[in-house]
Structure formats: structure tokens, C-alpha cells
């Protein structure tokens, strides 16, 4: 069965989803950003993602981008749900807007799919009333919440192979959705209620956030106790029921750094969730305190940030811990320079490696890009040769041979002043 699918939101999730559906269906992609629409209709992509260009070339005949919603059999919402930072609650303005755009085109028998992450009850309390404003009730159209499970760099592979949760308003909607997603999803499709699907998505990212928080707590304790936490984690993980994650400079991206707060906005039973968020949000402060110790006594310190993407080998810098670290450093009068071979647009200038390291007093590796492993430290014109690797990806023996003093987050080095 071939249907017409209208996908609202052509970002990191919406566009790959639209192109995957376009392998078997007629897909119209909608985005209010005219620049994105123009880029796509000119045969180019607005961001990099492994395998996406090849898929785009393959399905161009079944896909087009527009700025206005059209009538369709299926409407899929894949717009951002940012965090309202001051209040720590979900900002549903884009979901509301997308639902408004769909409402006037919605007919009995159509399906609406929400992939955007929302707080529990948002479909029932926010989306349904908007979709029903022209007389249709939720029983007259199919509705599904099918949250994505994918990460930048592996988006297409995970969208195809990962299991999915299909939260539907009735069994018929679930069956229709499973048939639609079955056109490209090779993983299992599990049925549940809409509200349970909303909750499961938040559970998944909160679990990962809590797991990262304990690893980060261990890293700070390692510095305090003089223990190399990387060795300790490796040894602890030899226990058959232990799997401690890697520590780092903080948590970024549009999911793990944000979704746990969606649980706290209406619940009074989220002590561990809030604590994990606090630990991970505070990691840039801790990294900055270590940098302060490293450059202590240097007049007008210059530091170099290696990587502002929130994870390695992607251009996505949403909620990156690098941004907070940069602002903390600037607030103390440091000059901050940035090098990131993947990121092209950022609130601060991104320069070449040579420019970013010239006369610098400390290199701080924030993002684990593979390209950073190839840097020749002997070629860098530093004023003071200091390296702080918050991801433990560099060969510090090579850097030490080039005259650098090296520290790794959680390696147990002495003289670390806590923040």
C-alpha cells in the first residue's frame, strides 16, 4: 500500500525519516525555514549524516520539500521540543504550531504520528484538542506516538534496525502505523498506549543520563583520591553485571541533556533524575576548575577548545557542554579559541588548528572527534604546552614526547582544585 505522507520538520530526525519513507511512499517534507526548503529542492542536504546523501539521491523522485502543509493520508510531526531553560519545562510551541498546521487539512481516516519527544500526557492534553478544533474527535482519525531511537552519525542505521514503540489511540491505529513503519523498520514494533510511549522515551534518555552521571561522579572522585578512574572502570566492568559508562565534560545533544527535565515538570517524585541532571550540567564547571589550576599564574591565559560538537564525528552542537565551558572561561578573563573540523556554524568563531593553538597556554579536548587523534603535537606553536583531555582519546605519550604536560579527566592527577 502506497500512501502520501506529510512530514513536518526537516531536521536531524524529520529529514532522515522522510527520506526513508520515500523509498516506498510519496513524501512531502514541510519546514518553515525557507532556507532548508530551498537547499533540499536544489538537490543538497542542510547537514551531514552518514549515508543520507546516497539515500537522498535514491528517493528524489518520491520526495519534495515545501513550506506549507498539504492534504495527505499521514501527517508526521518531527519538530524540536526544546527546554524552557529558566523553568526547566518542555517548550511545546513547535508541536503546537505543527498540530495547528495539520488541523485544517485533517480528514476522517487520516493518521497523525507524533515523533517529537513530549512530556507524559502532552498528546492528550495539548495535541488532541488542537487537531480536533475543526470538528473531528480523536476517534475519527488515527493517532500514534512513535518516538525515534537514533543518534547523529548512525541515524539511518538505527532508524532501520532499532526496535520502535508504537503508542496508539486504538488497535486500528497501531496496525496502520506498524504497516507504515514496516516499510523500512527491520526492528520489532511494540504496541502500547500513547501515554506509555511518551513515558518510555523519557525513561530511556533519563536512564542514560543517570548512568553518565555516576561515571562523572566517579571521575571527580578519582581525581580526589588519586585513582585513575579509567583503569578502575575497566576493572569494575569485568563484573558480569556491571557496565559503567565513560565520563566526560558534560552531556549535550537534544535528547539526554533535555528529556529528563520533561519528567520533573509535573512530578514530585524525581529526586534521582534531578540530581543526575545537576551532576552532568555541572561538569563544565569542574572542567573549568581543572583548567584554572593548569593555567594558574599565567598572565592573560589563552585556552584552546578542541571540539564544540556535543559528540564525536558529527556537526551537531545542540546543548554542547563546550558552550558553558567557553563562557565560564571568558567570565574569568581568558581568551578562548576554538577548532572543530566538523562544525561550521557556532555562536563563537571557529578557526584553523594553527590559529586556535598559536600562543595558547592550554588545549582542552572537549569532543572526541577521530580527527583529533591525528594531530601532530610537535607542530603546535604553544606559549605553554598543556593538554587536558576530557575524553581520554589522545596518545598522551606522544604529546609528552613533544613537551606537553598532560592531564586526563579522572586520571587521579594531583593538585586539582575542585569548583
Q: What is the pLDDT of residues 230-258, one digit of tens each?
A: 999 999 999 999 999 999 999 999 899 99
Q: What is the pLDDT of residues 273-301, one digit of tens each?
A: 999 999 999 999 999 999 999 999 999 99
Nearest to 254 by CA among 186, 145, 155: 155
Say if residue 183 is exposed, middle or buried (CB neighbours under 10 Å; 0-12, 13-18, 19+): middle
Say if residue 44 is exposed, middle or buried (CB neighbours under 10 Å; 0-12, 13-18, 19+): exposed
Residue in the structure block whose three cell numbers are 591525528: 374
Task: Please state, in angstroms and rounded to a whole number, the distance separating the CA atoms of residues 419 and 411.
Answer: 17
Q: Is the pLDDT of residue 127 over 60?
A: yes
Give me the pLDDT at residue 418, please: 47
Spot the catalytic one: 6, 146, 178, 255: 255
All CATH 3.40.50.720 domain ranges of the chain, comma separated, are 4-192, 232-419
Give me the pLDDT at residue 137, please: 84
393, 371 in Cβ contact below 8 A?
Answer: no
Say if residue 134 is exposed, middle or buried (CB neighbours under 10 Å; 0-12, 13-18, 19+): exposed
Q: What is the pLDDT of residues 168-196, one digit of tens each?
A: 999 999 999 999 999 999 999 999 999 99
Question: Does 255 participate in catalysis according to the annotation?
Answer: yes
365, 387 in Cβ contact below 8 A?
Answer: yes
Joined together, the cell numbers standing for residue 26 give 510519496
Q: What is the DSSP string of 38-105?
A: HHHHTT--SS--TTHHHHHHHHGGGEEEESS----SEEEE-----EETTTTEE--HHHHHHHHHHHTT
Q: Is the pLDDT of residue 149 over 60?
A: yes
Is residue 229 classed as helix, strand or coil in its secondary structure?
Answer: helix
Question: Whole-angstrom distance between the N-terminal and C-terminal Cα of the chain?
Answer: 60
Give me the pLDDT at residue 48, please: 87
Q: Is the pLDDT of residue 266 over 90?
A: no
Question: Does 178 participate in catalysis according to the annotation?
Answer: no
Spot the catalytic one: 146, 178, 201, 406: 201
Q: Is the pLDDT of residue 87 over 90?
A: no
CB atoms within 10 A of CB 62: 18
CATH number of 4-192: 3.40.50.720
Q: What is the pLDDT of residues 13-52, one digit of tens each?
A: 999 999 999 999 999 999 999 999 999 999 999 998 999 9
The pTM is what? 0.91
CATH class for the region spanning 232-419:
alpha beta
Task: Please state, in angstroms and rounded to a whole number, the distance separating the CA atoms of residues 376 and 404.
Answer: 12
Give me the pLDDT at residue 414, please: 58
Is residue 306 classed as helix, strand or coil in its secondary structure?
Answer: strand
What residues are paired with 387 via a beta bridge? 363, 406
Q: Which pLDDT band holds residue 419 (cuts at 50, 70, 90)? A: very low
Q: Is the pLDDT of residue 365 over 50?
A: yes
Q: What is the pLDDT of residues 57-73, one digit of tens each?
A: 999 999 999 999 999 99
Task: Please state, in angstroms and rounded to a whole number, the distance separating the CA atoms of residues 324 and 249.
Answer: 10
Amino acid at each position: 500500500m502506497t500512501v502520501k505522507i506529510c512530514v513536518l520538520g526537516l531536521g536531524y530526525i524529520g529529514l532522515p525519516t522522510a527520506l526513508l519513507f520515500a523509498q516506498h511512499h510519496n513524501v512531502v517534507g514541510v519546514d518553515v525555514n525557507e532556507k532548508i526548503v530551498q537547499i533540499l529542492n536544489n538537490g543538497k542536504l542542510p547537514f551531514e549524516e552518514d549515508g543520507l546523501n546516497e539515500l537522498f539521491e535514491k528517493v528524489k523522485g518520491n520526495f519534495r520539500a515545501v513550506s506549507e502543509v498539504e492534504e495527505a493520508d499521514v501527517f508526521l510531526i518531527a519538530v524540536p521540543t526544546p527546554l524552557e531553560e529558566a523553568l526547566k519545562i518542555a517548550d511545546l510551541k513547535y508541536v503546537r504550531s505543527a498540530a495547528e498546521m495539520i488541523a485544517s487539512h485533517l480528514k476522517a481516516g487520516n493518521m497523525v504520528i507524533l515523533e517529537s519527544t513530549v512530556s507524559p500526557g502532552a498528546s492528550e492534553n495539548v495535541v488532541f484538542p488542537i487537531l480536533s478544533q475543526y470538528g473531528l474527535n480523536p476517534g475519527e482519525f488515527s493517532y500514534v506516538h512513535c518516538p525515534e531511537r537514533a543518534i547523529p552519525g548512525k541515524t539511518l542505521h538505527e532508524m532501520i534496525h532499532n526496535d520502535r514503540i508504537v503508542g496508539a489511540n486504538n488497535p486500528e491505529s497501531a496496525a496502520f502505523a506498524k504497516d507504515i513503519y514496516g516499510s523500512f523498520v527491520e526492528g520489532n514494533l511494540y504496541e502500547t498506549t500513547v501515554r506509555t510511549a511518551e513515558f518510555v522515551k523519557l525513561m530511556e534518555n533519563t536512564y542514560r543520563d543517570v548512568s553518565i552521571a555516576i561515571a562523572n561522579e566517579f571521575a571527580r572522585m578519582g581525581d580526589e583520591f588519586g585513582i585513575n578512574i579509567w583503569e578502575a572502570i575497566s576493572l569494575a566492568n569485568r563484573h558480569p553485571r556491571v557496565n559503567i559508562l565513560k565520563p566526560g565534560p558534560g552531556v549535550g545533544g537534544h535528547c539526554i541533556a533535555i528529556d529528563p527535565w520533561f519528567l520533573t515538570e509535573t512530578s514530585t517524585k524525581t529526586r534521582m533524575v534531578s540530581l543526575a541532571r545537576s551532576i552532568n550540567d555541572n561538569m563544565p564547571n569542574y572542567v573549568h576548575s581543572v583548567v584554572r589550576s593548569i593555567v594558574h599564574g599565567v598572565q592573560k591565559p589563552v585556552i584552546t577548545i578542541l571540539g564544540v560538537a556535543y559528540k564525536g564525528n558529527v556537526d551537531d552542537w545542540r546543548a554542547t557542554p563546550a558552550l558553558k565551558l567557553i563562557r565560564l572561561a571568558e567570565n574569568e578573563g581568558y581568551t578562548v579559541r576554538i577548532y572543530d573540523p566538523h562544525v561550521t556554524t557556532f555562536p563563537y568563531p571557529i578557526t584553523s588548528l594553527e590559529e586556535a593553538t598559536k600562543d595558547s597556554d592550554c588545549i582542552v579536548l572537549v569532543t572526541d572527534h577521530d580527527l583529533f587523534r591525528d594531530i601532530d603535537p610537535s607542530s603546535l606553536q604553544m606559549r605553554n604546552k598543556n593538554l587536558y583531555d576530557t575524553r581520554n582519546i589522545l596518545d598522551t605519550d606522544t604529546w609528552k614526547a613533544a613537551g606537553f604536560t598532560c592531564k586526563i579527566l579522572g586520571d587521579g592527577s594531583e593538585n586539582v582544585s575542585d569548583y
